Amino acid sequence: MGRLLFKNIIFTLFFHIAVVTTYSQQHYVKVSLSYVDIPLSQLIDTIRVRSDLKIAYDVNSIPFDSLITISATDRDPIRLLEVLLPDSSVEILHDGNQIVIREKSIQGERYFTLAGSVVNSKGLPLPMVNISFKNRPLGSVTNDAGEFELKVPVNCFGDTLFFSSLGYKTVRTPVYSTNRLIEITLIESSVSLPEVTIRYRDVDEIVDLFMENQKVNYSEKSILFTSFFRETIKQDNNYVNVSEAVLNILKYPYSESFRLEHVKFIMGRKYRDVEKMQSVNFRLEGGPFYFSRIDIARYMDFFPAKNSEKLYKYKLDGLDYEYDRLVYLVSFEPIDDTGDLLYKGVLRIDTESYALISALFELTKNSLRNSKKYLVRKESRKIKAKPLYAKYSINYRPYEDRWVLNKLRGELKVHVNDKKSQEKSMFTAVTELLMSDFKRAGKIRFKASELYKSKYILTDEIKDYDPEFWKEYNVIKPDESIENVFKKPMGK
């Protein structure tokens, strides 16, 4: 393919201030139903349509394929859902016409929170450190201050937790009930070529071996991810929008790249203070939809497609360590930087399995000059927007004998000049996606009515829930400035 599927990510500029609708009604449209052996997920979807409720649920929390026989006339939809989901492990939250069905905490400690920080040998905090279990599909990552919180099932006692980062030796630590607050120190790994015995390979051969080994390095089964998504927007030095969400992402086998990922919104929270946003309402369009489809190892972005013109040239820039594995550093850039959406960056490819473990990349300068039609959409000719950079990172983590998508990060900086008000601003948008947990999807499928759409704006999809509703979900711990934002009243 050679070009990223997310080339149409739109960072949207609106001159007019948007109005967010809130719901206060507590009386719902009553529904009548009569079905024999209807799947529970289809029945919930029917209730959603007939009652005009926004119903979201984690597919891990309910027996979605259970067959239900029902006959009900003029029933309150909330009471009906409670009858359909009598299991004590499930709870139904409702705020206006926003309904969330989720797993409920049970009495007794089922999870505990393992918190702490990660520093280097000089005591400086390390951001974006990967945190994962050796034998469990559970993980997280440190924030910009090197801090983390990980909600751990009690049955993980005795398991080994891994802390790994680029250029550092991996630290392993056992998890016990007493280890609630820990500090991890990572020691730098230096690669001295005379000490490393490795067969020299031509860089094009390394690229070919990555493509040849895709099927054995990545999943050949559909995977259901439980994911955490965060969008932050700053105007100059002020946060003007912070939105977070828990998502289900259904990813199909890596050999079937024609089957695109599907995203299901579960729940979210937001802080939005449009009063701080001067002149322009800067909003991110379709974030979860597009970011779920950033997967270089699946779509072979930056790699040559069969019978197609080669877009990128490669260079071997040495060796490094990641996950205690020796990796090739393969830099790439366009053969012909035409100004179309093209990228430059570094790919980190394992020297043994030839799996892509991580990548850093950004739009080239020529691409930035011509990127406005892709990155920015605006409603007023009086507003001039100039993208200054668009940078991304992607990382995979090991699980059993495969590599699984772990985290994504994107950062866009745009200079905005509002000629009407004669005001200039710098907008910085950061998007993060963490795959905190996953399992084989089996027969799980999402209906079209449940899917997060490309036109959606996350902050518009979220109704204001209290910050406690994350419960057992793992999230990227916010840095101190974002924490202060969430200490203020929610919504606006």
Q: Transcribe 379-431 into DSSP letters.
A: S-TTEEEEEEEEEEEEEEEEETTEEEEEEEEEEEEEEEEETTTTEEEEEEEEE
Kindly state whether residues 395 and 444 are assigned to the same domain.
yes
Kindly state whether residues 363 and 449 are assigned to the same domain.
yes
Kindly state whether residues 210 and 240 are assigned to the same domain.
yes
Kindly state whether residues 259 and 330 are assigned to the same domain.
yes
Quote the pLDDT of residue 13.
Answer: 47
For residue 25, being part of any structural domain is answered with no
Section 90-119 average pLDDT: 75
Choose between 96 and 181: higher pLDDT: 181
Quote the pLDDT of residue 492.
Answer: 43
User: Is the confidence at residue 7, as pLDDT, over 50?
Assistant: no
Among the candidates 141, 164, 190, a domain finishes at: 190
Section 249-276 average pLDDT: 83
* Domain of 299, in residue numbers: 5-17+200-486
Span of 41-45, 50-54, 186-190, 480-484 with lowest mean pLDDT: 480-484
Kindly state whether residues 186 and 205 are assigned to the same domain.
no
Choose between 430 and 466: higher pLDDT: 430
Quote the pLDDT of residue 375.
Answer: 75
User: Is the confidence at residue 4, as pLDDT, over 60?
Assistant: no
User: Is the confidence at residue 225, as pLDDT, over 70?
Assistant: yes
User: Is the confidence at residue 106, as pLDDT, over 70?
Assistant: no
Kindly state whether residues 318 and 380 are assigned to the same domain.
yes
Q: What is the DSSP letter of 138?
A: B
User: Is the confidence at residue 279, as pLDDT, over 90?
Assistant: no
CB of 142 closer than 8 Å to CB of 150: no
Quote the pLDDT of residue 462.
Answer: 78
Quote the pLDDT of residue 358.
Answer: 96
Section 368-374 average pLDDT: 78
Quote the pLDDT of residue 392.
Answer: 95
For residue 439, being part of any structural domain is answered with yes
Span of 83-97, 152-166, 360-374 with lowest mean pLDDT: 83-97
Q: Where are the alpha helices (DSSP H) in 284-388?
A: 287-291, 296-299, 365-369, 372-375
458 pairs with which residues across the strands? none
For residue 102, being part of any structural domain is answered with no
314 pairs with which residues across the strands? 332
CB of 353 closer than 8 Å to CB of 388: no
Q: Provide the number of structural domains found in the chain.
A: 3
- Give me the percent of the chain exceeding a pLDDT of 70: 83
Mean pLDDT of the chain: 82
Query: CA-based Rg of the chain, rounded to a whole angstrom?
Result: 24
Kindly state whether residues 219 and 172 are assigned to the same domain.
no
Kindly state whether residues 90 and 183 are assigned to the same domain.
no
For residue 480, being part of any structural domain is answered with yes
Quote the pLDDT of residue 107.
Answer: 46
For residue 451, being part of any structural domain is answered with yes
Quote the pLDDT of residue 421.
Answer: 74
Choose between 420 and 325: higher pLDDT: 325
For residue 491, being part of any structural domain is answered with no
Quote the pLDDT of residue 147.
Answer: 94
pLDDT band at 197 (very low <50, low <70, confident <90, very high): low
For residue 264, being part of any structural domain is answered with yes
Kindly state whether residues 63 and 142 are assigned to the same domain.
no
| CATH number for position 146 | 2.60.40.1120
Per-position b or e across 11-31, b if 16+ CB within 10 A of its CB? bbbbbeeeeeeeeeeeebeeb
Residue 469: enclosing H or E segment and its boundaries?
none
Quote the pLDDT of residue 16.
Answer: 33
Q: Please state whether the predicted TM-score (pTM) of the whole model is above 0.85.
A: no
Q: Helix (H, G, I), strand (E, B), or coil: what is residue 41?
A: helix
Kindly state whether residues 429 and 306 are assigned to the same domain.
yes
Kindly state whether residues 218 and 159 are assigned to the same domain.
no
Kindly state whether residues 126 and 86 are assigned to the same domain.
no
Among the candidates 124, 156, 190, a domain finishes at: 190
Among the candidates 96, 128, 149, a domain finishes at: 96
For residue 26, being part of any structural domain is answered with no
User: Is the confidence at residue 272, as pLDDT, over 60?
Assistant: no
- Give me the percent of the chain exceeding a pLDDT of 90: 35
